[in-house]
């Protein structure tokens, strides 16, 4: 119980300090922290040769950078360093959880130290795993020049290609909220759209989101009877979180941090502050509008009648949307962000449940001489509507004490049943699952598998390598083979992690490893087809 008080009960999902799957070798957490720092440092060095550098950056004229990006040996070494560094960071995260298996009083300090140490080298990386951060600069320039990013893409800017953004952003409207566009305009105003300094400032903004998670994830977990250090280790210390939100500088970090803080204040009866913080999160990226109904439930109270619940839902929505409507007045942005909710991006990713099942249905339908594409579209549409139905069920049914858990499950359903899942999307709901309990059984192992999959996928999916560089093996293939070999080591050879990840017979491990590798290959093929 915090000083603010709470009516939320203890979650029954996860004991506060279970250590069943934590494995051997407890203690000496600093060893895992040092190992992770080395891995992050390797990623920093590797990013110089394979990360995304804007065409307008003076970095590309530096002799060391030229050698690492134009010589075959430089690109090869950089690729291996980036990939091995990411996998070392993965192992360090797993080992930190093992070494803190008792989750005692000092464990929170150990997790915070690890997050700090692992984040430091990533703070100075060339952007890796994604180059969306360069599009942020372009959208800031649009606002700076009096254009509306909800109506035009960055191709309307002079010399836009030098910003470093993916050409996919050329004609794309921004899916971000007005507050992020304000921030992007501020960054451009300070930097003059200089790409490297802009990336650093956007990273610092993302770092604010990470810091909010570090502060409020443990507090929100304690409200639910969950060990705060373990929740922080699960949600923030994991390598996918740090790579996506620090190295890639995704604005999702600020969105998630504000959302976690808002839910914490709502759970401790500071409802108006909670609504405003969640509204700020929506103003960064609108997907967190999903949280408002559950904040309204908390505001209604544990014994609220249905009329009071509807009243609080209306009040929550009225305050939030009213503030957002007023926020659209500066720079004439209006309510343009609503399109991001009402008109989602078309297509699918091959590794999402919806995308993968749709592919199988389409293949089977075509084999049988039926319109497989139509069936696949119907399936994906049905899964999206199923997610909406689950949100409604969780809004109207369930114990008040599990309001945050219900919110977490609703958020998870919307993400996991969507046709498109980017690797960092699972980080949207992970903190809320962590603070309400992830058991030390199939639940935590599913997280291990998911994080490993997306780290491996990201390591080989987003490499910046010039086509004229002569390589003995394609950089993406080299990264994939390297990551796969390291995963094999974690599953079979490492005495500690092989017992942590999957408890099964060797033959079962081989079968599961093979299925996992096939899934990654299919995802790569799907990405290649989309790029083509």
Query: Does an H or E element contain 470, and which?
Result: none
**Tens digits of pLDDT across the chain (532 residues):** 344 456 665 444 443 334 344 445 567 899 999 999 999 999 999 999 999 999 889 999 999 999 999 999 999 999 999 999 999 999 999 999 999 988 998 999 999 999 999 999 999 999 999 999 999 999 999 999 999 999 999 999 998 888 899 998 999 899 999 999 999 999 999 999 999 999 999 999 999 999 999 999 999 999 999 999 999 999 999 999 999 999 999 999 999 999 999 999 999 999 999 999 999 999 999 999 999 999 999 999 999 999 999 999 999 999 999 999 999 999 999 998 888 777 667 788 888 999 999 999 999 999 999 999 999 999 999 999 999 999 999 999 999 999 999 999 999 999 999 999 999 999 999 999 999 999 999 999 999 999 999 999 988 888 999 989 999 999 999 999 999 999 999 999 988 898 876 654 444 555 555 665 666 666 666 655 555 5
CA atoms within a 13 Å half-sphere pointing along the CA-CB vector of 492: 15
Residue 380: name the closest of 422, 349, 338 by CA: 349
Give the 3-state secondary structure of 317-376: HHHHHHHHHHHCCHHHCCCHHHHHHHCCCCCCCCCCHHHHHHHHHHHHHHHCCCCHHHHH
Query: In whole angstroms, how far apart are CA 258 and each of 95, 182, 214, 275, 523?
Result: 29, 16, 12, 10, 32
Residue with tokens 């703070």, as numbered in its chain: 123
DSSP 8-state secondary structure symbol assigned to residue 161: G
Q: Tell me: the pLDDT tens digits for 282-339?
A: 999 999 999 999 999 999 999 999 999 999 999 999 999 999 999 999 999 999 888 8
CB 407 within 8 A of CB 196: no
Read off the tokens for 447: 């997280």
Instruction: Supply the pLDDT for residue 1.
Output: 39
The answer to whether residues 34 and 105 touch, using CB atoms and an 8 Å cutoff, is no
Cα dihedral 47→52→58→59 (10° resolution):
10
CB 281 within 8 A of CB 288: yes
DSSP states along 251-295: THHHHHHHHHHHHHHHHTT-HHHHHHHHHHHHHH-GGGGGGHHHH
Q: Which residue is it, tokens 């190295």?
A: 247
How many other β-carbons are positioned within 10 Å of the β-carbon of residue 446? Answer: 11
- Tell me, what DSSP letter sits at residue 60? G
Q: What is the Cα 146 distance to its own chain's centre?
A: 31
Q: Please answer whether residues 66 and 468 qualify as being in contact, where contact means their C-beta atoms are separated by less than 8 angstroms.
A: no
Q: What is the C-alpha separation between 238 and 94, in angstroms, rounded?
A: 8
> What DSSP designation does 26 have?
-
Among residues 230, 236, 234, 232, the alpha carbon closest in space to that of 206 is found at: 236
Task: Supply the Cα-derived Rg of the chain in whole angstroms.
Answer: 23
> In this structure, how many other beta carbons lie within 10 angstroms of the beta carbon of residue 343?
10
């Amino acid at each position: 119980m915090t000083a603010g008080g709470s009516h939320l009960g203890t979650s029954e999902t996860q004991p506060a300090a279970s250590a069943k799957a934590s494995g051997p070798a407890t203690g000496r957490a600093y060893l895992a922290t040092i190992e992770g720092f080395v891995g992050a440092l390797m990623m920093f060095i590797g990013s110089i040769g394979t990360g995304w550098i804007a065409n307008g950056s003076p970095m590309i004229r530096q002799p060391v950078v030229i050698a690492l990006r134009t010589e075959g040996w430089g690109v090869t070494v950089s690729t291996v360093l980036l990939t091995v560094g990411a996998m070392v960071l993965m192992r360090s995260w797993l080992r930190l959880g093992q070494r803190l298996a008792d989750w005692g009083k000092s464990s929170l300090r150990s997790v915070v130290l690890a997050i700090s140490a692992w984040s430091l080298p990533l703070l100075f990386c060339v952007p890796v795993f994604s180059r969306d951060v360069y599009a942020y600069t372009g959208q800031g320039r649009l606002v700076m020049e009096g254009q509306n990013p909800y109506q035009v893409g960055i191709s309307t800017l002079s010399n836009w290609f030098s910003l470093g953004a993916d050409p996919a952003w050329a004609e794309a409207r921004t899916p971000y909220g007005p507050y992020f566009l304000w921030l992007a305009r501020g960054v451009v105003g300070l930097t003059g759209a200089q790409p490297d300094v802009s990336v650093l400032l956007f990273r610092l903004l993302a770092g604010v989101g990470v810091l909010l998670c570090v502060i409020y994830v443990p507090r929100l977990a304690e409200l639910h009877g969950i060990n705060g250090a373990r929740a922080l280790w699960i949600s923030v210390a994991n390598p996918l979180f740090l790579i996506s939100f620090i190295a890639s500088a995704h604005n999702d970090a600020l969105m998630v941090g504000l959302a976690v803080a808002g839910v914490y204040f709502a759970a401790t009866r500071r409802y108006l502050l909670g609504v405003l913080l969640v509204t700020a999160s929506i103003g960064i990226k609108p997907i967190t509008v999903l949280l408002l109904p559950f904040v309204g439930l908390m505001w209604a109270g544990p014994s609220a009648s249905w009329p009071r619940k509807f009243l609080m839902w209306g009040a929550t929505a009225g305050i939030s949307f009213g503030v957002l409507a007023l926020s659209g007045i500066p720079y004439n942005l209006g309510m343009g962000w609503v399109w991001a909710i009402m008109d989602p991006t078309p297509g699918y990713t091959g590794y999402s449940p919806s995308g993968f099942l749709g592919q199988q249905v389409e293949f089977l339908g075509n084999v049988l001489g039926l319109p497989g594409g139509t069936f696949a579209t119907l399936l994906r549409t049905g899964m999206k509507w199923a997610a909406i139905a689950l949100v409604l069920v969780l809004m109207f049914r369930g114990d008040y004490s599990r309001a945050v858990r219900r919110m977490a499950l609703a958020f998870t359903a919307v993400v996991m049943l969507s046709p498109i899942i980017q690797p960092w999307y699972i980080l949207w709901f992970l903190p809320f699952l962590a603070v309400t309990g992830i058991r030390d059984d199939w639940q935590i192992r599913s997280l291990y598998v998911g994080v490993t999959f997306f780290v491996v996928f990201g390591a080989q999916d987003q490499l910046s390598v010039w086509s004229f560089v002569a390589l003995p093996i394609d950089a993406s293939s080299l990264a994939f083979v390297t990551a796969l070999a390291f995963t094999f080591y974690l599953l079979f050879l490492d005495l500690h992690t092989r017992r942590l990840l999957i408890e099964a017979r060797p033959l079962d491990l081989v079968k599961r490893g093979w299925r996992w590798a096939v899934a990654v290959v299919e995802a790569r093929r799907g990405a290649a087809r989309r790029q083509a």
